[in-house]
Amino acid sequence: MDFRSPRLRTGLLLGTAFAAGVALGPASGLLGRHFGYDFGFSALAAQDGNRADTYRLLTLFGDVFERVRAEYVDQVDDKDLIENSINGMLTGLDPHSSYMNAKAFRDMQVQTKGEFGGLGIEVTQDNGFIKVISPIDDTPASKAGVKAGDLITALDGKTVQGLSLQDAVDRMRGPPNSKISLTIKREGVDKPLEVSMLREIIHIQVVKSRMEPDNIGYVRLSQFTEQADAGLKQAVRSLRQQAGGKLRALILDLRNNPGGLLDQAVAISGDFINQGEIVSTRARHTEDAQRWDAKGSDIMDGAPLVVLINGGSASSSEIVAGALQDHHRAVLLGTRSFGKGSVQTVIPLPGNGAMRLTTARYYTPSGRSIQGLGISPDVPVAESREEQPRFGAEREADLNHVLKNQGGTQDAARPPRSDLPPIAKEIPTKPPQGFPKFDPAKPDETDFQLQEALVLAKAMAAQSRVTAN
């Protein structure tokens, strides 16, 4: 992974990060003397308006540290205590800041390259349990029927409560063909589910595509890894060839895409926008604000674009959806997105670990902060007819220590779209009575949102052709 450019490397890594989640606090000067480190607390205290309180709290931590070392029922490794303390300092700030030891940092680097070992699920921590953000397509978890929103309560019969997220991820990983059993609590199901599967080496195919009727292309993007932009461009080239150079419209499916790398979100947005702002970030210090603009050309040559989003579309997915919506380059169909509008900077630390620190909020081209709010679709269409009860946090706003939404224009201030085809008002907001349950093997027959996206794309293509004539 490349950690260049201001503040090393800025990445939005919701769900792909292996954060540990135990309660911790800062280190002290006592620890610095004990281990020969300079933590710089003299400068910290000098900057603080109340030096006495700062020193008192640091002394308190040192006292607790020494008491644990001396009197805890089992001998505890000093390294574990300090790493736990650092991680607690960060995880207490917001849901996405965390400390990664050397192993966790290597895991993150491998995963963002699109290949890693395990089950193929994006996870986060939720009230002591492990929550599935999204299963990755064509992985053991996806094939076993694991769903976004599932709560993993036990691994091989042992509870995950008390485990950090990193520890839980480590237990889910293992040699290929080794068996693991997950106990899952699922919305709408009264009894726990036992799901068994075999681990595999996960090679993420982040881009999938196929041709739909009427020369309408479909591209699914499951993650924003380093291969995302190149894969999308290749998929569009292939679809154009299949259509004999007459690709009428494109459906970009970002549902249950938990995000990934910021530079890939910027590049993919720029694949459809000729010029103008894609996203901006505002940090604590005004001089650290940044803005990214489109620099390429529209790979679809202005052909209609429909983007599918839902509650599992987070982070980088929301950057792309927000940019395309604000520029009126695409019509968004589905349900409100997750609402992660913060930027994490990955900062390598001595000892080969790293710190993931929330350093900024990002804003769409119209100035919206979607932090805790999400992106609202232009054409709302639910995945199923009946609302299902939810277990635990469903969106960013439901998480603990969530970052406040501030500094942006309100979504209501965005002028209503006037470029939607008339049929957009006729598209139903939910499936009809008796609509079949979703079957991944038969998406065109059981995926209601996709069906309506095809109706919309076809109408937009017809409208575009009339306008061109």
Confidence (pLDDT) at 167:
84
**412 pLDDT band (50/70/90 cuts)?**
low
Is residue 30 located within the same domain as residue 149?
no
Give 26's contacts (C-beta < 8 A, 6+ positions apart): 57, 58, 61, 85, 86, 89
Greater model confidence, 158 or 51: 158
Alpha helices in 309-356 (DSSP H): 316-326
Q: Is the pLDDT of residue 146 over 60?
A: yes
Give 158's contacts (C-beta < 8 A, 6+ positions apart): none
Which one of the listed residues 134, 280, 315, 317 is annotated catalytic?
A: 315
Closest CA to 222 of 261, 258, 271, 263: 258
Confidence (pLDDT) at 49:
56
Task: Burial-class residue 349 by CB neighbours within 10 Å (0-12, 13-18, 19+).
Answer: middle
Question: Does residue 341 contact residue 372 with C-beta atoms inside 8 Å?
Answer: yes
- Hey, what are 348's tokens? 């390598």
- 340 among known catalytic residues: yes
Rounded CA gap, 229 and 252, in Å?
13
Question: Does residue 261 contact residue 3 with C-beta atoms inside 8 Å?
Answer: no
Closest CA to 240 of 296, 300, 307: 300
Question: Does residue 219 contact residue 253 with C-beta atoms inside 8 Å?
Answer: yes
Task: Burial-class residue 342 by CB neighbours within 10 Å (0-12, 13-18, 19+).
Answer: buried
* Backbone conformation region of residue 128, classed left if phi is above 0, alpha if psi is from -120 to 50, else beta: left
Confidence (pLDDT) at 195:
94
Is residue 183 located within the same domain as residue 246?
no
Is residue 172 located within the same domain as residue 36?
no
Mean pLDDT on 36-51: 50
- Helix or strand run (H / E) with residue 212: strand 207-212
Residue 139: domain span: 116-203
Rounded CA gap, 260 and 316, in Å?
6
- 167 among known catalytic residues: no
Rounded CA gap, 359 and 344, in Å?
6
* Mean pLDDT taken over the chain: 83
Rounded CA gap, 325 and 458, in Å?
19
Is residue 329 located within the same domain as residue 397?
yes
Instruction: Give the CATH number for residue 245.
Output: 3.90.226.10
Q: Is the pLDDT of residue 279 over 50?
A: yes
Integer angstrom CA distances of residue 220 from 37, 163, 231, 241? 48, 34, 10, 18
Is residue 272 located within the same domain as residue 227?
yes
Rounded CA gap, 391 and 157, in Å?
20
Of 148, 180, 203, which residue constitutes the final position of a domain? 203
- Hey, what are 5's tokens? 């450019």
For residue 102, is it within any domain?
no
Sign of the dihedral through C-alpha 36, 39, 43, 46: negative
Closest CA to 271 of 310, 224, 339, 336: 224
Is residue 361 located within the same domain as residue 414?
yes
Is residue 414 located within the same domain as residue 357?
yes
Is residue 143 located within the same domain as residue 179?
yes
Which residues in 289-328 are b (16+ Cβ under 10 Å) and which e? Answer: ebebebeeebbbeebbbbbbbbbbbbbbbbbbbbbbbbbe
For residue 6, is it within any domain?
no
Confidence (pLDDT) at 464:
75
Mean pLDDT on 73-84: 92
Is residue 178 located within the same domain as residue 220?
no
Question: Does residue 107 contact residue 166 with C-beta atoms inside 8 Å?
Answer: no
Which residues in 269-286 are b (16+ Cβ under 10 Å) and which e? Answer: bbbbbeeebbbbbbbeee
Instruction: Collapse the DSSP code of 198 into the 3-class scheme (helix H, G, I; strand E, B; otherwise coil) and give the result.
Output: strand
Write the DSSP string, 220-253: EE--B-TTHHHHHHHHHHHHHHHTTT---EEEEE
Which one of the listed residues 269, 340, 378, 447 is annotated catalytic?
A: 340
Confidence (pLDDT) at 406:
78
Among the residue ranges 152-161, 328-337, 440-449, the one predicted with the least confidence is 440-449
Mean pLDDT on 43-51: 56
For residue 393, is it within any domain?
yes
Is residue 175 located within the same domain as residue 238?
no
For residue 13, is it within any domain?
no
Total-model pTM: 0.73
Is residue 370 located within the same domain as residue 454?
yes
Is residue 254 located within the same domain as residue 320?
yes
Which one of the listed residues 94, 253, 326, 378 is annotated catalytic?
A: 326
Of 203, 221, 242, which residue constitutes the final position of a domain? 203
Give 163's contacts (C-beta < 8 A, 6+ positions apart): 171
Task: Burial-class residue 411 by CB neighbours within 10 Å (0-12, 13-18, 19+).
Answer: middle
Q: Is the pLDDT of residue 4 over 60?
A: no
- 442 among known catalytic residues: no
What total of structural domains would you count in the chain? 3
For helices 316-326 and 262-270, the axis angle rounded to 10 degrees is 30
Distance of CA 171 to the CA centre of its chain: 22
Confidence (pLDDT) at 37:
39
Of 95, 126, 148, which residue constitutes the final position of a domain? 95
Q: Is the pLDDT of residue 27 over 50?
A: no
Alpha helices in 280-354 (DSSP H): 316-326
Q: Give the pLDDT confidence of 351-378 residue by residue, as tens digits.
A: 888 999 999 999 999 999 999 899 999 9
Confidence (pLDDT) at 390:
54
